[in-house]
């Protein structure tokens, strides 16, 4: 399970500061009272930004690992949230998804580039939809009433 690790750092800064060293998870999310054999379980490597690692812990009783994913890294996608955001901006400004994908990933064939681009677009839109549900008044369109 991935849990939020609020660092306030951008991806490259997280790597420079080795933010995973400072990551702390004081108690097991499944057994807050303890007694489950909860302990640090090393780190795992992320592809991007190069050198990024994510700290994790293991609960012996639940047979489950918990990772503290820093705010700057995208969940379930390689890379940073800033990279995902840049991809979505390109898609929204392009004449088509295929045109955006071809420009974003010229290193691979178009069907693969479209899948790569679509995954990032869907993830970003899903995140925005969650925010809309959590904060409906913030994202609701303004209503203007004209009396008279």
Query: For 22-50, how does the pLDDT look when each residue is reduced to its tens digit (9 = 90+)?
Result: 999 999 999 999 999 999 999 999 988 99
- Averaged pLDDT score across all residues of the chain: 90
Token pair listed for 2: 């991935």
Instruction: Check whether 91 has a pLDDT greater than 90.
Output: yes
pTM of the model: 0.73
Count of Cβ atoms closer than 10 Å to residue 124 Cβ: 20
User: How distant, in Å, are the alpha carbons of 15, 49, 68, 136 from that of 18?
Assistant: 5, 12, 13, 37
User: Does the pLDDT at position 74 exceed 60?
Assistant: yes
Q: How many CB atoms lie within 10 A of CB 101?
A: 25
Tokens representing 57 are 């812990």
């Amino acid at each position: 399970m991935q849990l939020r690790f609020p660092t306030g750092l951008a991806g490259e800064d997280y790597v420079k500061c080795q933010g995973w060293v400072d990551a702390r998870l004081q108690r097991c999310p499944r057994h807050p009272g303890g007694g489950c054999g909860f302990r640090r379980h090393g780190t795992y490597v992320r592809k991007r930004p190069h050198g990024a690692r994510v700290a994790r812990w293991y609960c012996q009783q639940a047979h489950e690992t918990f990772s503290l994913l820093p705010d700057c890294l995208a969940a379930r996608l390689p890379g940073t949230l800033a990279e995902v955001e840049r991809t979505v901006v390109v898609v929204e400004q392009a004449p088509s998804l295929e045109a955006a994908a071809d420009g974003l990933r010229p290193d691979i064939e178009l069907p693969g580039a479209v899948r790569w681009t679509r995954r990032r677009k869907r993830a970003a839109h899903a995140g925005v939809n969650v925010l809309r549900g959590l904060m409906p008044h913030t994202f609701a369109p303004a209503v203007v009433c004209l009396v008279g």
